[in-house]
Amino acid sequence: MEDALPSGLLEVCALLGAPADRIREIDKVAQKGIRSSQVLEPEILSIFVPPFTSKEETTISPSAQNNYQRLAKRRSFRKKKDKPKSEHGTDKTDKKDVPAEDITVPKDIDLDGLPQLCFPGGLQPSSDPKEHCFHFLVFTDVMGKRTYGVVMQYYRSVQDATSLHNGQIYWDYNASHTKAGGTFIPYALCVISRFPYYSALKDCLSCLLMQLKSCKDSDTDNRIKEFAAKLCLIPSPPPGPLNLVLNMKPLQVVFPSREDLDSPLIDLDLHLPFLCFSPKQVLEIMSCILTEQKIVFFSSDWALLTLIAECFMVYLHPMQWQHTFVPILSRQMLDFIMAPTSFLMGCHLDHFEEVKKEAEDLVLISIDGGTISYPLSSEEETEVPDVPVEAAESFIQRIESLQMHYDLEMAHLGSFMELGELRMRKRLWQHNLNNEVQKITLQLIVDIFRDVKAHLNFEHRVFNSEEFLKSRTVGDQPFYKKVLDTYMFHSFLKARLNKRMDAFCQMEWNTSSETNGRFSMLFDSPRRATTKMRRFRPEHMFSKKLVISMPNLLEAKETEVPRQWSLRKPDPTNGVKPQTKPVYTFKLPEINFPLLGRCVQTYYTELNNYLNREIACLPPDNSTLLARYYYLRGLVYLMQGKPVHALSDFQSLYKTDIRIFPVELVKKVVLSLPASDRQQAERKPELKRLISQVLETEREVTKMDDHVKKFSLPKTHMHLDDFVRRIQESGIVKDVDTIHRLFDALTVGHQKQIDPEIFRDFYNYWKETEAEAEESLPPHVTENLDKNECVYKLSNSVKTNFGVGKIAMTQKRLFLLLEGRSGFVEIAPFRNIEEVKITTVAFLVLRIPTLRIKATTRKEIFEANLKTECDLWHLMIKEMWAGRKMADDHKDPQYIQEALTNVLLMDAVVGSLQTTKAIYAASKLSHFDKMRNEVPMMVPKTTAETLKHRINPSVGETVPQSVDVLLYTPGQLDASGRDDTSKLWCALGEGKVVVFNASTWSVQQHNVKVGNSKLKCMVGVEQSQVWIGSSDSSIYIINTHSMVCNKQLTAHRSEVVDIITDETRTQGRLSYSCSVDGNILAWDISTLKLHHKFQLASNTINSMRLYKDLLLFCTRECILVTKKSGVVFQKVDIAENLRKLGSSFSGIQLFSEKGQLWVSYAANNEISIFDMNNLFKPAHKVILQDCTQITCMLRVKQQIWVGSRGISQGKQKGKIYVIDAEKKTVEKELVAHVDIVKSLCSAEDRYVLSGSGKEDGKVAIWKVEDLSLITFQI
């Protein structure tokens, strides 16, 4: 089936010109000395479509022929050839008519309009031979799929055009350009491809024209057919750094690849618009496109219309133009501009005035004149808003720093002696310039839409457009109002809500600093930044103080490496050259006689040999290039009728670069495999797995939920579940427990449902007070606040013993803004408060409520006559005080954030209810104060001294997630600019990995997706990779520099429970992986090839360790000791008494220097310590007091840290026991988490990090102390 075969670059090649009878008429007139100037009607003269070889000519096996014939769904196109009329009467010889050739044309290409588009200005004879010229076409079918055309127009004399041979039209091109006079007829040769290879196909057609000049008349048609057949044999290069090169004689034509799957293929000069328009005008055009205006480009050069329009389409990436896109309109198509919907079209400059008079609401852009005009509509002039000011200024500054003139760049270089060298130099310069333009335009898109994410609710797929607009400056709002209603922006929102990691996300992340954007991931802010609060963005909160207090595992200051963009004008302050991604080329073999089947197969054989040589020469660590060669060889195998070989190469992409795995192509190949090939494939384990995966995904195809809702206030009563959803959609708060408390507060004195009016009042009060406090602050106060400090609540003007003023509350402290005086008086930081209470003060016959605050930093007690606000401020201050104490005791700054959220919710509840029960309702939100009063959470002294900090990988989630696996990878200072900081990897549920920068504890990557199943183990390999074993039986490999998972090992058949690296081998290092079913695989780390494997007689393996030349495996029933080859060396069964109790082995840990094997048991508080020299010797037992379940063990220095669930203060907690390996006694008991300790890892033996279950979902950071020194000091 054709669908299972990859197609080449060519879809259609067509020769177009005037009808033969009309040419003969012109010739007759020309012979009389009369020159014709009439416009002729063009038509298709010849058409060439693949395949160009018949089945009988090929050498493919019969089975391959039966299953891989090109039988595409095409509609038939038959071109009957004109017969020449004899000048001297009819031929008496009885000749049989040659049957017309039945040609099939791809159904998505409309041939009816092709003649007009190939001659958009009309087909008109010329009195002079004109130079050949090019223009470019874009076709769009009803499904939005685009194909691209490159058209070459050339002229020949009318005498040559009338030369006929067997009914075919031929010419002598040399003669047509040497005649001094006569009439010349234009012809067009059009190549249509699925890929926008504008420059490459232009070069190919130029080479063809050179060949046609020297060929005989009778060979012309065959030359064009051969040319089309050659293009059909060129495979499309896979995404990545590998370009294909074809020798078209005399030019070496380069077919570039796209950067990645989501990037556009670029084969044009992206700086062309900046040669026609100023940067400000480019921004104006971008605004027209982003607001989806009706846009018409004009130029006297047909080629520029498409090239300029396509440049702007690239500038939009990853956003996409959703409407009609016709960059060239012929004269007959001018009525298209009357379309009622948005469009982008192009016309010849001659039609400018005509279009301007006839059409309304258009944006007319003259490429030649560099002007943008808006004709008056029936009502008023079309208004196109300006691009947001900050984004526009940055864009103009960056663009003006580029060097866009090649001659200026090359002025200092000598002359090139060879055409190839000159073209190579120009291509390299253009490639680098294109990269720079792409970066700058992408940065523009990111700058415009960066803050959209803050107003999205991912759980319910809601965009709060109203609040987003409020957060924009007044001058930028007209732009956003128009953009937010466009189809383009709606598709952009879908991609954001689907968490698509495209170029926008990558650029957004790369341009976010540690304190701006990335650090915000540490906390779920209760407020969004409004326009006037940008200096006090909540995402900046706490960063300075926390970074100071956090344990810095790097302990070295990173030097900032200055970076200068390539192709920029010289900058004396920055002289470091940029890092550019390497680009490689692969030269295709010569294509001789492409119309002969056996020669085509010879070409594929030679191409295969070329690829084999490249693969053999490449080092294993160059997986990026290897993947591209495997991809190309897989395509070649398919064309050779070897689908099993092709599948093997595509399966190799899992180990080299899974990102370019051709899912749809492989699916088609698998579904069309004949029975014999299917049996052959299933005899290979890796292909059997691949086939089963493809068939499984084919059955489980589910449509992705891509709806987007705009937030709207509810109109009906809400029960609890509906209220939770509505609050989360509003963006006020995400945490479910907090929303439940808010529900209780708003339903005090009512039935347990929320009235829509109450919800509206609460929502409006919340939004109205977001910026109120900051707007009231005088500049001299804001300047004296800490860098990350923000005022969240201001009282009315009140009388205090410090003077009359307003009480202000930040996340850190209380202070008083004195009336009539500059500055402020600090009342107390929350951590220094000793007492808060309400008293009354007599005033005449009244008793006025007074708030009293006693602090350790002041002898004088602060008193304020807050009157009606007294009860609310009392609640809020106590909550912040309790939250601050909890944060200090538990070394968890998120408690402050949660307390602040509770306080702001209290304020909104009181402000919206306005009833006598409002304070009582607000008290329902006093969470931390109640915890402190009702159940004092005393932190044991040992825990408090050892605990250094807590972080939350589940920040931003509606509920916490279990931290199943932890891994620390050390960093190195690297002046080259690579990201080599130390990192903490946290494996959460459903294949999600969160990565922290371990020197600042800020989130470095919020969601690295590795499958959709629970992750079981992680290990760092050779400082550049992290291998992750999953319960879906795969091993995912993440590059620690790019943070991309682009490799996958799929040889296991059940969940991968452990991975270890053999550090003893100096060459050919191996990693061992084991799955629960006893399948042990040894991988060559450099090549990712399977070195050897063996099977253990157990299906309950849970962990694996390496001891000298032995491997140890922990199963539920026994401990197995094997050679590295898999030969069982020893076996230790579980003790009989434990077996009778239903217990089993749950984990092992080695202490190699002491020859100790530590073993834990399921549902047991006992640890057994075996002697590795004699495993049958009775084990030493360590009993863990108040322990109910042991989950993990970790060796650190001379200690064993044991994660567990245990009893503390009468409650189940996550506990850590620190055991002295020498004494075999428990030296410390640490109350680590609210939930069970799920994972442990060590950070260079200086810190231990523990991850907890889903009730807690946090990571605790513990200081490791040398127990022997502590004992000695005591």
The burial of 1185, by beta-carbon neighbours within 10 Å (0-12 exposed, 13-18 middle, 19 or more buried), is given as exposed
Using the CB atoms, write b or e for 865-883: b if 16+ within 10 Å.
bbeebbbbbbbbbbbbbbb
Euclidean distance between CA atoms 1108 and 996, whole angstroms? 33
What is the predicted pLDDT for the residue at 185?
A: 86
1212 and 1177 Cβ atoms separated by less than 8 Å = no
8 A C-beta contact, residue 745 and residue 924? yes
DSSP H helices in 243-301 = 272-276, 279-290
Is 904 in a helix, a strand, or coil? Answer: helix
Cα–Cα distance measured from residue 623 to residue 236, given in angstroms and rounded to the nearest whole number = 20
Backbone region of residue 1210 per phi and psi (left: phi > 0; alpha: psi in -120 to 50; beta: other values): left
Q: Cα separation of 912 and 760, whole Å?
A: 9
The C-alpha atoms of residue 592 and residue 601 are separated, in whole angstroms, by 11
Using alpha carbons, select from 722, 646, 731 the residue that is nearest to residue 691. Answer: 646
Low-confidence ranges of the chain (pLDDT < 70): 1-4, 27, 29-37, 54-104, 106-108, 158-182, 215-218, 376-382, 513-580, 698-705, 770-776, 843-845, 935-937, 972-979, 1267-1274
pLDDT for 823 equals 74
Instruction: Please list, in sequence order, all residues whose beta carbon lies within 8 angstroms of the beta carbon of residue 113, skipping any fewer than 6 positions away.
Output: 333
**Which phi and psi (to 5°) does residue 423 adopt?**
-65, -35
* Cβ contact 92:151 at 8 Å: no
CA distance 228 to 42: 21
Rounded CA-CA distance 102/75 in Å is 10
Residues 232/220, Cβ–Cβ less than 8 Å: no
274: left (phi over 0), alpha (psi -120 to 50) or beta: alpha
Q: Which amino acid is at 478?
A: P
Q: How far is CA 27 from CA 18, 84, 890, in A?
A: 12, 15, 97
Amino acid at 760: R
State the pLDDT at residue 880: 95
CB 103, CB 133: distance < 8 Å: no
Please tell me the chain's helix, strand, coil percentages from 3-state DSSP, rounded to the nearest 5: 35, 25, 40
Give me the residues paired with residue 965 across strands.
987
What was the pLDDT predicted at 104?
65
Indicate the SS3 state at residue 739: helix
Whether the CB-CB separation of 1172 and 1159 falls below 8 Å is answered with no
Helix (H, G, I), strand (E, B) or coil at 830: helix
pLDDT value of position 62: 41
pLDDT single digits (tens) 1126-1160: 999 899 888 877 777 778 899 999 998 889 999 99
Sign, CA torsion 365/370/376/381? positive
HSE on the CB side for 232, CA within 13 Å? 22
Q: How far apart are CA 644 and CA 522, in angstroms?
A: 49
462-463 and 709-710 beta bridge pairing? parallel
Which phi and psi (to 5°) does residue 151 adopt?
Answer: -115, 130
Closest CA to 711 of 640, 763, 665, 634: 763
1180: closest CA among 1201, 1204, 1154, 1162?
A: 1154
Q: Which two tokens stand for residue 818?
A: 């004195």
Strand 1180-1183 vs strand 371-373: parallel, antiparallel, or unpaired? unpaired
What three-state secondary structure class fits 66?
helix
Q: For residue 393, count other CB atoms closer than 10 A to its CB.
A: 13
Given this model, what pLDDT does residue 99 score?
42
The answer to whether 1236 and 1225 have CB atoms below 8 angstroms apart is no
Q: Is 627 helix (H, G, I), strand (E, B) or coil?
A: helix
pTM equals 0.86
The rounded Cα 917 to chain-centroid distance in angstroms is 49
Q: Kindly tell me the number of DSSP H helices and DSSP E strands found in the chain.
A: 37, 55
Q: How far is CA 725 from the centre of its chain?
A: 27
Closest CA to 950 of 991, 979, 981, 986: 986
The Cα 32–Cα 34 span in angstroms is 6
